[in-house]
């Protein structure tokens, strides 16, 4: 995979990554796109499906999403026709570890592990490479992420990492893409309902995620390639 990284990795200042070429590269092996179906997600979904129609689109249905997000999934499923794969947490494990559905407050990292990291880890077993729609302008831990990185045994590619907010907005306009219905209410980064709030003017885009937990910046599925999450007993 190192040769693939050398071929496509750009300088930090560049916004260019030839997605069309990379999707055709046999060295990717079997690949999929992970999408949250949140704000801006449709850009990556549209981009990938227009270039490689049968690309599997993985959606982590945590059981905690806004009804608006689930309606948005159905709308994009009808309008864009993605090859959608809905990934859900193990119901027996969820019931045993979070019977009262209070884990999101008592141990949010464990809640994310249970509902996102573990199901995603299982879902990615059949793939060699996965794509994300993450962008550096979202700030926080994403500010300096590379466009191509190692994620344990997988290759992870972030084609939009260097895109600016203006470029994302231009893509929406150019292709007349529908926005997530919660964006008009001030939601800028949309995850699970219990852990997502609207942001105020001047706040960073991801400050609405885990707003009452200043130390929590990510759910855990996008930690660095050498990071590990140890599941608590």
Domain ranges of the chain: 2-195
Q: In the structure encoding, which two tokens stand for residue 214, read together?
A: 């200043």
Q: Residue for token digits 């231009």?
A: 170
**pLDDT for 175:** 97
d(C-alpha 165, C-alpha 31), whole Å: 26
Tell me which of 112, 192, 195, 219 is the catalytic residue: 219
**pLDDT for 233:** 28
Q: Residue for token digits 């599925």?
A: 221
Looking at the chain, which runs of residues are DSSP E strands?
31-34, 56-60, 83-87, 129-131, 148-151, 154-157
**pLDDT for 224:** 46
SS3 label, residue 116: helix
SS3 label, residue 70: helix
SS3 label, residue 20: helix
Distance from the Cα of residue 112 to its chain's centroid: 13
Residues in the chain: 233
d(C-alpha 217, C-alpha 219), whole Å: 7
d(C-alpha 206, C-alpha 222), whole Å: 14
Contact 188, 208 (CB under 8 A): yes
**pLDDT for 198:** 93
Give the pTM.
0.87
**pLDDT for 17:** 72
Q: How far is CA 195 from CA 8, 64, 167, 216, in A?
A: 36, 9, 28, 11
**pLDDT for 219:** 78
| CATH C-level class of 2-195 | alpha beta
On the CB side of 138, how many CA atoms lie within 13 Å of its CA?
20
**pLDDT for 232:** 33
Contact 42, 75 (CB under 8 A): no
> How do strand 148-151 and strand 129-131 relate by DSSP bridges?
unpaired
Q: What is the mean pLDDT of each run of 10 residues along the chain (233 residues)?
A: 54 61 89 95 96 96 97 97 96 93 88 92 92 87 81 85 93 97 94 92 81 75 48 32
**pLDDT for 15:** 55
Dihedral angle over CA of 72, 180, 224, 154, nearest 10: 40
Q: Is 219 a catalytic residue?
A: yes
**pLDDT for 10:** 46
Of 151, 156, 153, 105, the residue nearest 134 (C-alpha):
156
d(C-alpha 164, C-alpha 179), whole Å: 17
């Amino acid at each position: 995979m190192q040769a693939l990284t050398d071929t496509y990795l750009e300088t930090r200042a560049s916004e260019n990554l030839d997605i069309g070429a990379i999707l055709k590269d046999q060295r990717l092996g079997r690949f999929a796109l992970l999408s949250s179906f949140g704000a801006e997600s449709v850009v990556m979904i549209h981009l990938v499906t227009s270039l490689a129609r049968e690309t599997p689109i993985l959606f982590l249905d945590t059981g905690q999403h806004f009804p608006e997000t689930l309606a948005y999934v159905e709308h994009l499923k009808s309008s864009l026709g993605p090859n959608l794969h809905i990934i859900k947490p193990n119901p027996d494990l969820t019931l045993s570890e979070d019977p009262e559905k209070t884990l999101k407050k008592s141990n949010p990292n464990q809640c994310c592990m249970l509902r996102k990291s573990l199901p995603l880890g299982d879902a990615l077993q059949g793939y060699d490479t996965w794509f994300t729609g993450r962008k550096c302008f979202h700030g926080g831990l994403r500010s300096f992420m590379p466009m191509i990185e190692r994620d344990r045994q997988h290759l992870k590619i972030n084609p939009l990492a260097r895109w600016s907010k203006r470029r994302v907005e231009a893509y929406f306009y150019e292709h007349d893409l529908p926005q997530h219905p919660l964006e008009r209410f001030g939601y800028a980064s949309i995850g699970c309902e219990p852990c997502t709030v609207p942001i105020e003017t001047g706040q960073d885009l991801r400050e609405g995620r885990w707003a009452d937990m200043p130390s929590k910046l990510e759910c855990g599925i996008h930690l660095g390639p050498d990071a590990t999450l140890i599941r608590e007993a």
